[in-house]
Structure 1
Amino acid sequence: MAWARTVLFQLIFYAGSAFFVLATPLTAALGQRALRANVRSWAYFHRWSARWLLGIRSRFVGHIPVEPVLYAAKHHAMFETLELVLALRDPAPVMKSELARIPIWGWAAQRYGVIVVDRHGSAPMLRRMMREAKSAIAEGRSVVIFPEGTRVRQGEAPPLKSGFAGLYRMLNLTVVPVALDSGKVWPKKGPKRAGDVTFDFGAPLPPGLPRAEIEARVHAAINRLG
């Protein structure tokens, strides 16, 4: 049954996603409001598909600030990338430069306002990243980073990448850690399973903490659920 649900989800969700991708150039031409509405519609379609085809629902715990903050989230699956778009009201996600080079999708993501980061950390890329992050904050948008750098399996807790500390220092924003457990129903390999995914928003951490302290506190907070 799990494999049947997974195949059905893949057929319907990815076929339906083509509509939103093809609509991107038109909505981008109409401005940021139309483009972000298109992205939210895609995220709602993903939520609907996960709920009714896979039996996966989201549960949000804790306080979500109204003002812009830096969210540091655990990353198990694609699932949370789209759920956070809805929960955090059009945030600006930090995205690896490799993803920004995907035809059409990468262009659309940059038009949406993602913050592109180069894992090699070149000076021009860092300056660009800061411009994009500050622009998002000026618009009243929060920034979302997956500080472990990539998707990991449920229960894995690798150290944070150095880019998180740099962004934390330069933006001087409050950090809200987000623990989640999507890996238990949405594994990197194999069929997806029905169940609830918990998004646990932790206590805000103030700006200006020493690097070792902020990294240790964020690492512990985002790994509360595995």
Structure 2
Amino acid sequence: MQYLRSLIFTVQMYAVMALMGLYWAPIAMRKDDGAHRGVRAYCNYVRWSAAWMIGLTSEVRGEVPDGAVMITAKHQSFFDIIMLCSVLPAPKFIMKKELTRAPVLGWFAKRMGCVPVDRGKKGQAIAKMMADVQKGRARPGQLIIYPQGTRVVPGVQVPYKTGTAVLYQQLQETVIPVAVNVGVFWPRTGIRKTPGHAVIEFLDPIPPGLSKDVFVERLRNAVEGRSDELMAEAGFRAAELTRS
């Protein structure tokens, strides 16, 4: 039964994405904040519908940033993106280049000022990413980067990428780490979602000016440590998930 509920929820979620995309596209073309407003409305709809359709409630903890900051978030599933965009006033992501070709999502991502990255080119990709981010600074917002570079199954250890530390030193902006537990309810792949209470949490800011090594260690300890605590709070243990 939960699989069927999850399937119906997923189908309607993408259908509503198309419908709301059509509604908000003209507004996004006329107004600077139109794309952000449309995406925020859609993401709040997904959170609302997930609560009653599949039993997945959600909560955002910590102080939500509203200025020009860099957000470094744990990434476990599509739902942590949904939750971030439901509360941030002007999010823009460092994202895979392939996603810019996705229907609806790709167009709105461009209007929001997201920065596409060709992950296959490594060094060239980092240089282009930094150049694109600098160009985008004329349009203030919350720049979101996933330090591990991709969605990570809860409990699995994946190294933090170089690009995050490079951006931290180049931008000289405050960094807001984000911990999550959403992957234990909404998996990285597949249809079935598990009822529960998903949480993302904005953690204490990391000031600019640290060395790369110190920054990465502080970031990793904060994000991984708190994410493990949030998963434990939900009744899961990272070690158990790794073995399963």
TM-score, with length taken from structure 2: 0.83
* Whole-angstrom CA distance in 1 between matches of 2:24 and 2:65: 29
Match in the other structure for 2:27 = 27
1:78 positional shift: 0.5
**5+ residue gaps, structure 2:** 229-244
1:24 positional shift: 4.7
1:195 positional shift: 0.6
1:157/1:223 contact within 8 Å kept = no
Distance 1:98 1:128, change over 3 A: same
Match in the other structure for 1:135 = 138
1:104 positional shift: 4.6
Match in the other structure for 1:205 = 206
Give SS of 2:59's match: strand
Match in the other structure for 1:216 = 217
| % same residue | 35
* Whole-angstrom CA distance in 2 between matches of 1:103 and 1:185: 26
Match in the other structure for 1:14 = 14
Bigger shift: residues 63-72 or 48-57? 63-72
CA RMSD, 1 decimal: 1.8
Match in the other structure for 1:37 = 37
1:198 positional shift: 1.6
1:151 positional shift: 0.4
Q: Which amino acid aligns with 1:2?
A: Q
2:130/2:167 contact within 8 Å kept = no
Distance 1:56 1:90, change over 3 A: farther
* Whole-angstrom CA distance in 2 between matches of 1:28 and 1:63: 27
Match in the other structure for 1:77 = 77
Written as runs of structure 1 = structure 2, the 5 A alignment for 1:1-226 is 1-119=1-119, 120=121, 121-122=123-124, 123-132=127-136, 134-137=137-140, 141-190=141-190, 191-224=192-225, 225-226=227-228
**5+ residue gaps, structure 1:** none
* Whole-angstrom CA distance in 2 between matches of 1:170 and 1:30: 32
1:223 positional shift: 1.2
Q: Which amino acid aligns with 1:209?
A: L
TM-score, with length taken from structure 1: 0.90
Match in the other structure for 2:237 = none
How many residues end up aligned between the 2 structures?
222
Q: Which amino acid aligns with 1:207?
A: P
Q: Which amino acid aligns with 1:208?
A: G
Q: Which amino acid aligns with 2:196?
A: G
1:90 positional shift: 2.5
* Whole-angstrom CA distance in 2 between matches of 1:171 and 1:43: 28
* Whole-angstrom CA distance in 1 between matches of 2:60 and 2:35: 26
1:92/1:136 contact within 8 Å kept = no
1:108 positional shift: 2.3
CA displacement 1:149-199 (0-9 Å, x = unmatched) = 000111123111111011111110111111100011011244101111121
* Whole-angstrom CA distance in 2 between matches of 1:173 and 1:105: 28
* Whole-angstrom CA distance in 2 between matches of 1:74 and 1:14: 24
Moved over 4 A (4+): none
Give SS of 1:198's match: strand
1:102 positional shift: 2.7
